[in-house]
C-alpha cells in the first residue's frame, strides 16, 4: 500500500503534541484517545485493526486480536482529509516526555517499540506484535516481553517518557538498560533480557531483577522515565492510597506539624 | 548501484555510513562477498575476507548477519529476508556452509523454544480443565484405575466406619440362627476373598440389603422374612457380595469425590469440606444401574461356583417385581433396575447352568422364626 507522506510539527517541550498536516485524501492513524484537535475537513473514522490489512475479514480480525495482546484498543481511529486544501490534526502525548518522529523509510522499514509507546502514524503503517522470543529469563522480564512492531515506509510517532535518549550503536557495541527504559530500536539490534544475578542488588539496590541488553548495530531510543515508574511514585506518595504526604526534604515527617508546614504545597 | 543477476539486497552498517544503516546490494564474486552502496553520486564497495563471520543476529536472532573488521571498526551486513537469503545461500562458498547452517539453526532454535514455552504455559493453565474433561469423557477408566490403587486394608477401614454408623442408626441382631445363616451363605459365596467380611442382620421390616466398602454386608430382617428358601436369600447375598468384590462402593465414592475434588480445584476451594462430606454419605450410597447389572451377573456366577441353585435369585426378583406392583415400592427397588426385567435376564443366565446343585443345609423355618 502506498504510504501517505505527512508533514508534521512538534510543539511543546515536556508535554508535547504533534501536529500533522494532511494533503487532500491523505490519512493518519492514531491511538484512540490521543487526538487533541483537528481542522475542518478532516473526517474521523473508527476502523477495526490498523487499516493496513489487505486480507479480508479474517486478516482484520487477526490484526485486531494482536492489538488486544499489546494492550491497545481493538479499533484505531483514522483521520482523513476529505476537504480541498491542506488540513491539520494534532495528537498529544499522554504523559510528560518527548514525541519521537521516525521516518520508517530511513530506518529500513521496521521498528520494534515498547507496547503503549505508539502515538500515531501515516495511514499504511502496519502495527504488529513482536514477542521477545529469546527466553531463558526473558519471560520474566516483565515490560520487555510483548512489544510492538511498526512496518512501512511512512512517518510514525512514538512517545517516550521523561527525557529521550537517542543512541546509534556501532556493530557489536552494547548498552545495558533497565527493561522499562527501552522505547524503540531497529530490528538489527540484538535485544536480550538478562538476569541481574545478584538478589542483593535487586532487593536493596531498588533496581529490577532483570535488565535489557541492546547490542548494535542500529539505533535505539531510550526514555528516562517509564510511565510505570512515574505511576509507582505517584501511588507511593498519594495519601488516598496509603502513601505519605511528606516530601523527601521534610525533617518533621508526616506529623500534624509536618502537614501544616508542608501545607500540601507539593506531592 | 549493481543490479546484476545473483545480487541481493540488505542493510549495511559500516564506519562512515549513517548509523541507522543504509540499503545495500551484495553479490558473490569469486567466493567473496562484495557489498556496495550508493553514497550520493559515488558508489562505494566493500570486499569481504574469505572467512567473514556469518551469524544470526538482531532482534530474536531473526537476521542473517555477515561481519568483518574494516578500517576504523567493524562492518556488518544484514541480508534481507526472503529471496535475498536464498540468493546468499546459493552463491556462498562451501567454507561458509557450516557457520551459515549454525546461524539458521540458532534462529530456528529461538523460535522453537519460544513455542515450547507457550505450549508449556498453556498446558499448565489448562491442566485442571483437562483433568476434568478426562474424568467426564473417560471417567470409568480413571475411576477404575484410582480404585485399584486403594489397598483392601484401607477399604476395610471405611467398612469399620459404616459398621459404626449402622450400629448407631439401626438395631443390629448380633447373634442367633439368622446371623449364622447369612454368614454360612456368605462364606460359601466368598472363597479366597481379599476382604474381611462382616455379616450383619438388622431388625428392620423393610425388604432391603446393602453392601458397603470393605466387605460389610447388611441384610434387613424384613428381607429374610420374605424368602421361602435359603436359596432366595443366597441370591440377594450373592448380589451384595458381588458389589463388595467388584468394589462398587469405592467406585461410587471415587467418582463423586473425584468430580467434587475436580470442581473444588477449578473453583479454588481447598477447605477440605469435600472429604468430610464424602465420608458421611457412605450409608446413602447408591450404585449405578450398570453396577447393578454387573452385580447380578457376578452374583449369579458366584452362586453357580458355590453350587447354590441360582433359580432362587430369579425367584426373589419375581417377588420384588410383584411387590413393586403395590402402592409402595420396596426400598431395594428405588435404586435398582426394573425387577421383572432383571428376573428374566437372570433366568436366561441361570438356564445356561444345569447344575447339579448342593442344597443349603439350613433350617430356614427356624431362621425365620428367630427373627423378632
Average pLDDT over residues A97-115: 92
Residue B166: the pLDDT is 81
Q: How far is A165 from chain B (nearest CA, A)?
A: 15
Residue B115: the pLDDT is 87
CA distances from B134 to B37, B139, B148, B160, B258 (A): 62, 7, 18, 32, 11
Q: B113 lies in a domain?
A: no
**Residue B314 in contact with residue B346, Cβ under 8 Å?**
yes
Nearest-angstrom CA–CA distance, B349 and B310: 9
**Mean pLDDT of successive 10-residue segments in chain B (372 residues)?**
70 91 93 88 90 92 93 92 92 93 92 87 86 74 76 80 82 85 88 84 86 85 86 88 85 72 57 52 59 86 87 83 60 60 82 81 83 78
Residues B64 and B150 in one domain: no
CA distances from B127 to B91, B132, B145, B275, B364 (A): 49, 9, 19, 22, 58
Q: B152 lies in a domain?
A: yes
Angle (nearest 5°) at CA A58 between A55 and A59: 40
Q: Do B73 and A171 touch (CB under 8 A)?
A: yes
Q: What is the pLDDT of residues A11-61, one digit of tens each?
A: 999 999 999 999 998 999 988 788 999 999 999 988 776 666 555 677 767
Provide, as residue numbers in chain A, all residues whose Cβ is less than 8 Å from the Cβ of B111: 133
Provide, as residue numbers in chain A, all residues whose Cβ is less than 8 Å from the Cβ of B20: 106-108, 168, 186, 218-219
Q: Percent of chain A, pLDDT > 70?
A: 70
Q: Record the pTM.
A: 0.63
B11–chain A Cβ distance below 8 A for any pair: yes
Domain ranges of chain A: 7-226
Residues B101 and B160 in one domain: no
**Which CATH fold would you assign to the domain A7-226?**
Double-stranded beta-helix (3.60.160)
Nearest-angstrom CA–CA distance, A25 and A122: 12
Nearest-angstrom CA–CA distance, B372 and B173: 9
Torsion angle (degrees, nearest 10) of CA A176, A181, A183, A185? 0
Residue A252: the pLDDT is 43
Mutant choice from B12, B14, B16, B20 vs A, greatest count of A C-beta within 10 A: B20
A256 falls in which pLDDT band (50, 70, 90)?
Answer: very low
Mutant choice from B16, B24, B53, B59 vs A, greatest count of A C-beta within 10 A: B59
Q: How far is B333 from chain A (nearest CA, A)?
A: 57
Please tell me which residue of chain B has the smallest CA distance to A185: B59
Residue B2: the pLDDT is 44
Residues B175 and B87 in one domain: no
Residues B175 and B59 in one domain: no
Residues B39 and B101 in one domain: yes
Residue-number span of the structural domain to which B302 is assigned: 145-370
Average pLDDT over residues A171-189: 91
Residue B360: the pLDDT is 81
Q: Do B60 and A171 touch (CB under 8 A)?
A: no
B270–chain A Cβ distance below 8 A for any pair: no
Q: Do A108 and B63 touch (CB under 8 A)?
A: no
Provide, as residue numbers in chain B, all residues whose Cβ is less than 8 Å from the Cβ of A135: 113-114, 117
A195 falls in which pLDDT band (50, 70, 90)?
Answer: confident
Compare CB distances from A139 to B60, B74, B117 and report the shortest one's residue: B117
Mutant choice from B46, B53, B58 vs A, greatest count of A C-beta within 10 A: B58
Number of domains chain B contains: 2
Residue A248: the pLDDT is 44
B292 classed as catalytic: no
Residues B291 and B159 in one domain: yes
Compare CB distances from B59 to A106, A170, A189 and report the shortest one's residue: A189
ipTM: 0.77
Residues B153 and B88 in one domain: no
Q: How far is B113 from chain A (nearest CA, A)?
A: 7
Please tell me which residue of chain A has the smallest CA distance to B59: A190
Residue A255: the pLDDT is 42
Q: Do B20 and A168 touch (CB under 8 A)?
A: yes
Q: B2 lies in a domain?
A: no
Residue A265: the pLDDT is 39
B20–chain A Cβ distance below 8 A for any pair: yes
**Residue A189 in contact with residue A217, Cβ under 8 Å?**
yes
Q: What is the CATH number of the domain that holds B18?
A: 2.30.29
Q: What is the mean pLDDT of chain A?
A: 79
Provide, as residue numbers in chain B, all residues whose Cβ is less than 8 Å from the Cβ of A186: 20-21
Q: What is the pLDDT of residues A226-248, one digit of tens each?
A: 988 899 899 888 887 665 554 44
**Residue A169 in contact with residue A219, Cβ under 8 Å?**
yes
Q: How far is A78 from chain B (nearest CA, A)?
A: 29
Please tell me which residue of chain B has the smallest CA distance to A135: B114
Residues B240 and B357 in one domain: yes
Residue B273: the pLDDT is 56
Q: How far is B99 from chain A (nearest CA, A)?
A: 18
Evaluate if residue A119 carries a pLDDT over 60: yes
Residue A1: the pLDDT is 46
Choice among B155, B231, B232, B240 that is catalytic: B240
Q: How far is B55 from chain A (nearest CA, A)?
A: 12
Residues B247 and B365 in one domain: yes
Amino acid at each position: 500500500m502506498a504510504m501517505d507522506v505527512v508533514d508534521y510539527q512538534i510543539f511543546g517541550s515536556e508535554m508535547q503534541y504533534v501536529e500533522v498536516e494532511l494533503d487532500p485524501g491523505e490519512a493518519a492513524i492514531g491511538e484512540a484517545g490521543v487526538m487533541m484537535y483537528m481542522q475542518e475537513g478532516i473526517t474521523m473514522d473508527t476502523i477495526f485493526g490498523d487499516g493496513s490489512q489487505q486480507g479480508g475479514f479474517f486478516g482484520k480480525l487477526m490484526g485486531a486480536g494482536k492489538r488486544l495482546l499489546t494492550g491497545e484498543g481493538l479499533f484505531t481511529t483514522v483521520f482523513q482529509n476529505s476537504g480541498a486544501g491542506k488540513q491539520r490534526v494534532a495528537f498529544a502525548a499522554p504523559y510528560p516526555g518527548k514525541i519521537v518522529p521516525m521516518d520508517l523509510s530511513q530506518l529500513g522499514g521496521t521498528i520494534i517499540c515498547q507496547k503503549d509507546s505508539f502515538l500515531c502514524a501515516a495511514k499504511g503503517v502496519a502495527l504488529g506484535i513482536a514477542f521477545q522470543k529469546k527466553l531463558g529469563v526473558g519471560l520474566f522480564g516483565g515490560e520487555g516481553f510483548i512489544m510492538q512492531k511498526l512496518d512501512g515506509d511512512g512517518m510514525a510517532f512514538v512517545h517516550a517518557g521523561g527525557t529521550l535518549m537517542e543512541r546509534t550503536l556501532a556493530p557489536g557495541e552494547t548498552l545495558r538498560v533497565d527493561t522499562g527504559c527501552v522505547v524503540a530500536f531497529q530490528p538489527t539490534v540484538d535485544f536480550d533480557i538478562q538476569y541481574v544475578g545478584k538478589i542483593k542488588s535487586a532487593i536493596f539496590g531498588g533496581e529490577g531483577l532483570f535488565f535489557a541488553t541492546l547490542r548494535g548495530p542500529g539505533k535505539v531510543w531510550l526514555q528516562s522515565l517509564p510511565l510505570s515508574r512515574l505511576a509507582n511514585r505517584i501511588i507511593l506518595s498519594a495519601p488516598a492510597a496509603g502513601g505519605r504526604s511528606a516530601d523527601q526534604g521534610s525533617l518533621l515527617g508526616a506529623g500534624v506539624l509536618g502537614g501544616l508546614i508542608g501545607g500540601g504545597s507539593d506531592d | 548501484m549493481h543490479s546484476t543477476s545473483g545480487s541481493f539486497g540488505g542493510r549495511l552498517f559500516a564506519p562512515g555510513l549513517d548509523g541507522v544503516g543504509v540499503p545495500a546490494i551484495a553479490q558473490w564474486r569469486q567466493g567473496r562477498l562484495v557489498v556496495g552502496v550508493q553514497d550520493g553520486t559515488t558508489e562505494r564497495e566493500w570486499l569481504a575476507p574469505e572467512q567473514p563471520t556469518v551469524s544470526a543476529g538482531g532482534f530474536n536472532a531473526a537476521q542473517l548477519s555477515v561481519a568483518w573488521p574494516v578500517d576504523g571498526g567493524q562492518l556488518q551486513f544484514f541480508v534481507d529476508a526472503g529471496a535475498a537469503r536464498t540468493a546468499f545461500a546459493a552463491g556462498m562458498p562451501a567454507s561458509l556452509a557450516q557457520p551459515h547452517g549454525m546461524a539458521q539453526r540458532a534462529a530456528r532454535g529461538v523460535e522453537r523454544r519460544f513455542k515450547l514455552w507457550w505450549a508449556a504455559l498453556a498446558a499448565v493453565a489448562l491442566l485442571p480443565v483437562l483433568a476434568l474433561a478426562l474424568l467426564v469423557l473417560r471417567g470409568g477408566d480413571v475411576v477404575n484405575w484410582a480404585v485399584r490403587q486403594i489397598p483392601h486394608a484401607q477399604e476395610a477401614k471405611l467398612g469399620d466406619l459404616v459398621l459404626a454408623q449402622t450400629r448407631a442408626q439401626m438395631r443390629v441382631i448380633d447373634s442367633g440362627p439368622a446371623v449364622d445363616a447369612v454368614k454360612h451363605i456368605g462364606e460359601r459365596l466368598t472363597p479366597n476373598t481379599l476382604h474381611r467380611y462382616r455379616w450383619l442382620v438388622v431388625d428392620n421390616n423393610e425388604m432391603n440389603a446393602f453392601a458397603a466398602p470393605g466387605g460389610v454386608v447388611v441384610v434387613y430382617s424384613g428381607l429374610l422374612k420374605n424368602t421361602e428358601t435359603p436359596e432366595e436369600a443366597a441370591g440377594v447375598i450373592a448380589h451384595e457380595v458381588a458389589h463388595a468384590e467388584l468394589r462398587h462402593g469405592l467406585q461410587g465414592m471415587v467418582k463423586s469425590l473425584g468430580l467434587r475434588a475436580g470442581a473444588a480445584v477449578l473453583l479454588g476451594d481447598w477447605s477440605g469440606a469435600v472429604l468430610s462430606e464424602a465420608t458421611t454419605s457412605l450409608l446413602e450410597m447408591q450404585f449405578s444401574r450398570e453396577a447393578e447389572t454387573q452385580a447380578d451377573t457376578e452374583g449369579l456366577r458366584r452362586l453357580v461356583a458355590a453350587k447354590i441353585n441360582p433359580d432362587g435369585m430369579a425367584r426373589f426378583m419375581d417377588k420384588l417385581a410383584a411387590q413393586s406392583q403395590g402402592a409402595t415400592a420396596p426400598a431395594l427397588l428405588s435404586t435398582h433396575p426394573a425387577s421383572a426385567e432383571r428376573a428374566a435376564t437372570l433366568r436366561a443366565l441361570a438356564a445356561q447352568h444345569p447344575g447339579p446343585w448342593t442344597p443349603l443345609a439350613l433350617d430356614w423355618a427356624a431362621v425365620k422364626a428367630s427373627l423378632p
